Amino acid sequence: MPTSAELHERRIAAVPRGVSHATAIYAKRAKNAEIWSEDGKRYIDFGSGIAVVNTGHQHPKVVAAVEEQLKAFSHVCFQVTPYESYVSLAERLNAIAPVPGPAKTMLVSTGAEAVENAVKVARAFTGRPGIVSFSGGFHGRTHMGMALTGKVVPYKKGFGPFPADVYNVAFPNTYHGVSSEQSLAALNALFKYTADSSTIAAIIVEPVQGEGGFYIAPFDFLRSLRTLCDEHGIVLIADEIQTGFARTGKMFGLEHSGIKADVVAMAKGLAGGLPLSAITGRADVMDASGPGGLGGTYAGNPVACAAAHAVLDAIEEENLCDRANAIGKIILDRCHALKARSNLNCVGDVRGLGAMCAIELVKDTASGEPAPHLTQALMKVANENGLILLSCGTYGNVIRFLAPLTASDQIVRDGMDIFETSLTEAVTRVA
């Protein structure tokens, strides 16, 4: 059997360097919140494939649903011969997504496709070209996705030019000195000086920024954004690709603010590890495109649809929204305790919504200067100690915690024990 080191050498020779990875751990098998490498080492997984396996690796319901669907057929293309599981999944998403009814849903394969199609339907509905996004936001690696994304390195550098009529304004981030009022003022200034509101089709926002650093959009800001969109006839798109499917303690992150979007883009946690994404929106918005204007060869693959039905069943039957809150409390309590430790002096901020939690590392708490080198050292030490972590943030100094929502209290606590030990060791290494 090949070792992780041997596979890594083969990877360097065979795969472009632009396809990066958080670890050099090569997975052999996985179960719930644990991964075993090709070398036989066991790891606690606090990454969940970037918030994809919210229901854990190899959830029995997902495995059974996939196996059963494979016995019937794996692909016929919904645009050629439709099938029931696509329709019934659309019906389920129409019922639960935070959009005003009646709603309609289309299925595609990736988060970037969901964002692209959300933009398409918004432009078709309004007859306008402009799209507004926010600094620090991440919306995919297609050209439109990159244009919307508010972070240059590594996502946009060297890949331009990007589509026109895309505007980026400051996201409210109180830790870094941007208030909701300042962000709204930036939007109004955009309408006054750069692009009249009558030319704007949509505003896209993440209820909690993912790649940008797990910054939670203030609920009052989201409510004001809803009002502003209503005043100007602008479609509000909620990018729930990382926040969706119980991750934040509610089925969708937007629910915390009490508002609804016109269109919701979702992916990641939808199908338990199979490639599936969705766009759910107001029926009048979703119907604005003509027949043939939307779709894709693999869009709404039947095996992925079967997995998604099993995921939704598991979330409901196992009360995973409540479970997300319980896991988040364990993680945040430990992180706040670390912040209070006088011998560390490197925790600038702790934040989270449900089980979407983060800790922001700084060189010292007095200056608040980002500490990306410490962050990278911590991830390396954590891997050595048997814990998989992911970083994020525009400064590369945020650790995000994305444990599966099916993880036991004990395994979450064990993971946090490793995290604390690893942080202490990393601080010593970079000193």
pLDDT at 83: 98
Q: What percent of the chain has pLDDT over 90?
A: 95
Q: Where are the alpha helices (DSSP H) in 134-179?
A: 143-148
Mean pLDDT of the region 259-282: 98
311-345: pLDDT as tens digits:
999 999 999 999 999 999 999 999 999 999 878 89
Given 3-state DSSP classes, what are the helix, strand and coil percentages for the chain, each rounded to the nearest 5?
A: 40, 20, 40
pLDDT in tens, 121-140: 999 999 999 999 999 999 99
Residue 63 reports pLDDT greater than 90: yes
Mean pLDDT of 98-105: 96
- Average of pLDDT values for 103-109? 98
CB neighbours of residue 41 within 10 Å: 14
Q: How confident is the model at residue 429 (pLDDT cuts 50, 70, 90)?
A: very high
Query: What number is the average pLDDT over the span 58-76?
Result: 98
pLDDT surpasses 90 at 110: yes
Average pLDDT over the chain reads 97
Residues 27-44 have a mean pLDDT of: 97
Mean pLDDT, residues 169-177 taken together? 96
End-to-end CA distance of the chain: 39
**Would you identify the CATH topology of the domain 73-317?**
Aspartate Aminotransferase; domain 2 (3.40.640)
pLDDT of residue 292: 95
pLDDT of residue 357: 98
Bridge partners, 36 (sequence order): 29, 42
Question: What backbone phi and psi angles, to 5 degrees, belong to 348?
Answer: -85, -40
What is the per-residue pLDDT for 331?
98
Residue 361 has pLDDT above 80, yes or no: yes
Residues 333, 335, 340: CA angle, nearest 5 degrees:
95
Lowest mean pLDDT among 5-19, 222-236, 274-288: 5-19
Answer whether 285's CB lies under 8 Å from 125's CB.
yes
pLDDT grade for 206, boundaries at 50, 70 and 90: very high
With respect to CATH, is domain 4-58+319-430 assigned 3.90.1150.10?
A: yes
Q: Are 57 and 404 in contact (CB under 8 A)?
A: yes
DSSP 288: T
pLDDT of residue 291: 94
Percentage of the residues of the chain whose pLDDT score is greater than 70: 100
Amino acid, single-letter form, for residue 345: N
- Domain residue limits, the chain: 4-58+319-430, 73-317
Tell me if 358 sits within 8 A of 397, measured CB to CB.
Answer: no
What does the pLDDT read at residue 199? 98
Q: Which residues contact 122 (CB under 8 A, 6 or more apart)?
A: 131, 201, 202, 235, 237, 262, 263, 285
Segment 397-418, tens digit of pLDDT: 999 999 999 999 999 999 999 9
Amino acid letter, 418: I
Q: What are phi and psi of 45, to 5 degrees?
A: -100, 105
What pLDDT is stored for residue 220 in this prediction? Answer: 98
Domain 4-58+319-430 identical in fold to domain 73-317: no
Strands 263-266 and 277-282: antiparallel
